[in-house]
Amino acid sequence: MPDYKLVIEGGRELRGETFVSGGKNTSLAVVPATLLAEGPCLIENLPDIEDIRVLMQILRHLGAGVTWQAQQNQMQVDPCQVSGDTVPFRLSQRMRASYYLMGALLGRYGYARVGYPGGCNLGSRPIDQHLKGFRALGASIREEAGMIVLEGKLKGANINFDMVTVGGTINVMLAACRAEGDSVLTNCAREPHIVDTANFLNRIGAHIRGAGTDTIRIRGVNKLRGASYTVIPDQIETGTLMIAAAATRGQVTLRGCIPTHMEALTAKLLEMGVLVTSQDDIINVQLRQGHRAIRLSTQEYPGFPTDLQQPMSALLTRAVGTSEVIENIFDARFKHLDEMRKMGAKSVINGKIAYIEGVPELHGAPVYAPDLRGGAALVIAGLMANGITEIYRADTIARGYEHLESKLNALGALIRREKISNGNGNADGF
Interface with ligand EPZ (CB under 6 A) = 24-25, 28, 96-97, 120, 124-130, 163, 165-168, 189, 306-307, 329-330, 372-373, 400
Q: Please tell me what DSSP assigns to residue 39.
A: S
Nearest to 100 by CA among 28, 186, 188: 28
For residue 164, the minimal CB distance to ligand EPZ (Å) is 7
For residue 75, the minimal CB distance to ligand EPZ (Å) is 17
For residue 371, the minimal CB distance to ligand EPZ (Å) is 7
For residue 351, the minimal CB distance to ligand EPZ (Å) is 14
Q: What's the start-to-end Cα distance of the chain, in Å?
A: 18
Nearest to 101 by CA among 85, 78, 118: 85
How far lies 326's CA from each of 241, 243, 295, 352, in Å? 22, 18, 8, 6
Catalytic residues: 120
Query: How far apart (Å, rounded) are the C-alpha atoms in residues 273 and 322?
Result: 15
Secondary structure of residue 106 in the 3-state scheme: helix
For residue 130, the minimal CB distance to ligand EPZ (Å) is 5
Decide if 285 contacts 274 (C-beta within 8 A): yes
For residue 118, the minimal CB distance to ligand EPZ (Å) is 11
Query: How far apart (Å, rounded) are the C-alpha atoms in residues 63 and 3?
Result: 30
Shorter beta-carbon distance to ligand EPZ: residue 168 or 366:
168
Shorter beta-carbon distance to ligand EPZ: residue 118 or 344:
118
For residue 315, the minimal CB distance to ligand EPZ (Å) is 17
Shorter beta-carbon distance to ligand EPZ: residue 206 or 308:
308
The residues facing 285 across adjacent strands are 252, 276
Shorter beta-carbon distance to ligand EPZ: residue 76 or 328:
328
Q: How many CB atoms lie within 10 A of CB 25?
A: 25
Query: How far apart (Å, rounded) are the C-alpha atoms in residues 129 and 113?
Result: 18
Shorter beta-carbon distance to ligand EPZ: residue 121 or 386:
121
Ranked by CB distance to ligand EPZ, the top (closest) residue is 167
Tell me the CB-side half-sphere exposure of residue 289, using CA atoms within 13 A: 3
Q: 341 burial class (0-12, 13-18, 19+ CB within 10 angstroms)?
A: middle
Secondary structure of residue 419 in the 3-state scheme: strand
Please count the residues of the chain. Answer: 430
Please spell the DSSP secondary structure of 391-409, one letter per residue: EESTHHHHTTSTTHHHHHH
Secondary structure of residue 25 in the 3-state scheme: helix
Shorter beta-carbon distance to ligand EPZ: residue 305 or 366:
305
Strand order in the sheet with 415-419: 366-368, 388-392, 4-9, 415-419
Decide if 77 contacts 64 (C-beta within 8 A): yes
Give kind and range of the element (H or E) at residue 267.
helix 263-272
Rg (CA), the chain: 21
Shorter beta-carbon distance to ligand EPZ: residue 87 or 293:
87
For residue 263, the minimal CB distance to ligand EPZ (Å) is 16
Given the DSSP bridges, would you call strands 158-160 and 182-186 parallel, antiparallel or unpaired?
Answer: parallel
Shorter beta-carbon distance to ligand EPZ: residue 32 or 226:
32
